[in-house]
Amino acid sequence: MTSPDTTIDLKSVRTTEDDGRRGPRPAVTARELTTGGTGEPYTRLTPVQYSATLGAEIPDIDLSEPLDDAVLAELRRALLEYKVLFFRDQHLTADRHAAFARHWGEPQIHPFLPKAGSPEVVRLAHDADAPGVENIWHSDASFSATPPFGSILRAVEVPDIGGDTMWADMAAAYDGLPGDVRARIDGLSATHDFTQSFGKLMTDEQLAAAREKNPPVAHPVVRTIPETGRKLIYVNQVFTARIDGVDMAESAELLDLLIDQARHPEYQVRFHWEPGSIAFWDNRVTQHYALCDYYPRPRVMERVTITGARPR
């Protein structure tokens, strides 16, 4: 007896939301992925796009020099379009780094992370004695009532191999959610809390003092970027403790599903650092993950975050 032909017809794989190919978690269905930019041309910058929906390098710019209003306006537009901007060969001092950040708003003082001299510059230094810990998807300081609008990270010392950082576009991820999941999460809020991350490294006394100044805060699960009107998934593995108003099982199920979206490579960009590299990300719409594949070699970064508004 001959065996039946088990070849499948790839045309039968539709780009519908009802895609049962890969089990219970939504997979990325085939659709056109774009940055969502306006299409308006750039006249002062020449962004070089890295990935389908996010990430662009901005060549031919010197961030140590004063920047005129037209360049700043195009940088702002590029940040909204590409969500993370990369710059090479900048070699800024910490002061000039903070001065560049001030173009976009007031630097936010991080309540817990070590500083590099000035209170607005966070220093993330890792080596054999202090292994990297940023290899988990997150957006910076979402435990704050007004989380940073943006973060500007500068490579101070980078390993020759490894130590890349990845970003995920949570607006593209929201767009890719099945309609029934979007219907479930629209209008929900979630509690964000530093206790489950930074809090674990504190003494009881430190924790009590830190909680007083940084109480748990509720943010919408679906956040909207006012400038673009784009909706995005605004929960992350590091700081989101629970979805409010549903039972713990449903909260865990939804958080698991939503946090998982950052892990789809279709929504990601990856950046390899060189001495003098800078990344400037929109901390509202992206999450990031710093690979810890360089241990025990040293890697030193400095970061300035820019105060944001209350998420809506």
Ligand X SMILES: O=C(O)CCC(=O)C(=O)O
Active-site residue list: 138, 140, 288, 303
CB of 151 to ligand X, least distance (A): 6
- Is 165 one of the binding residues for ligand X (CB under 6 A)? yes
124 is an interface residue for ligand X by CB under 6 A: yes
Which of 74, 81, 120, 140 contacts ligand X by CB under 6 A? 140
Q: What are phi and psi of 133, to 5 degrees?
A: -130, 5
Q: 51 vs 151, which CB is nearer to ligand X?
A: 151
Residues 6+ apart with CB under 8 A from 65: none
Q: What is the CA radius of gyration of the chain?
A: 21
Report whether 98 contacts 304 (CB < 8 A). Answer: yes
Q: At closest approach, how far in Å is the CB of 124 from ligand X?
A: 5
> According to the binding rule CB under 6 A, does residue 282 interact with ligand X?
no
Work out whether 157 is an interface residue with ligand X (CB under 6 A): no
Nearer to ligand X (CB atom), residue 53 or residue 283: 283
Answer yes or no whether residue 288 interacts with ligand X by CB under 6 A.
yes
Q: For 60-64, which contacts have Cβ atoms below 8 Å and span 24 or more sequence positions?
A: 61/87, 62/90, 63/87, 63/90, 63/92, 63/96, 63/100, 63/278, 64/90, 64/91, 64/92, 64/96
Structure tokens at 249: 């099982």
CB of 143 to ligand X, least distance (A): 13
> What is the DSSP track for 224-266?
E-TTT--EEE---TTTEEEETTS-HHHHHHHHHHHHHGGG-GG
* CB-nearer residue toward ligand X: 177 or 234: 234
The answer to the question of residue 303 lying near ligand X (CB under 6 A) is: yes
Residue 98 touches ligand X, criterion: CB under 6 A: no
CB of 251 to ligand X, least distance (A): 25
C-alpha–C-alpha distance, residues 251 and 241, integer Å: 9
- In this structure, the number of other CB atoms found within 10 A of the CB of residue 67 comes to 16
Is 80 among the residues that bind ligand X (CB under 6 A)?
no
Instruction: CB nearer to ligand X: give 155 or 190.
Output: 155
State the number of binding residues for ligand X (CB under 6 A).
10
Binding mask 174-213 for ligand X (x = CB under 6 A): ----------------------------------------
Q: Do 239 and 142 form a contact (C-beta atoms < 8 A)?
A: yes
Does 290 contact ligand X by CB under 6 A? yes
Beta bridge partners of 295: none
- Residues near 27 by Cβ (< 8 Å), separated by ≥ 6? 19, 21, 264
* CB-nearer residue toward ligand X: 124 or 306: 124
User: Please, which residue, 166 or 221, has the CB nearer to ligand X?
Assistant: 166
Token pair, residue 113, equals 């992370």
Q: What DSSP character marks residue 184?
A: H
Residue 146 CB, nearest approach to ligand X (Å): 17
Supply the minimum distance, in Å, between the C-beta of residue 5 and ligand X.
Answer: 50
Residues in the chain: 312
- Nearest Cα to Cα of residue 233 among 164, 108, 138: 138
Least distance between ligand X and beta carbon 188 (Å): 25
Among 19, 57, 134, 157, binds ligand X (CB under 6 A): 134
Residue 36 vs 55, nearer CB to ligand X: 55
Is residue 301 near ligand X by the rule CB under 6 A?
Answer: yes
Would you tell me which residues interact with ligand X (CB under 6 A)?
124, 134, 140, 151, 153, 165, 288, 290, 301, 303
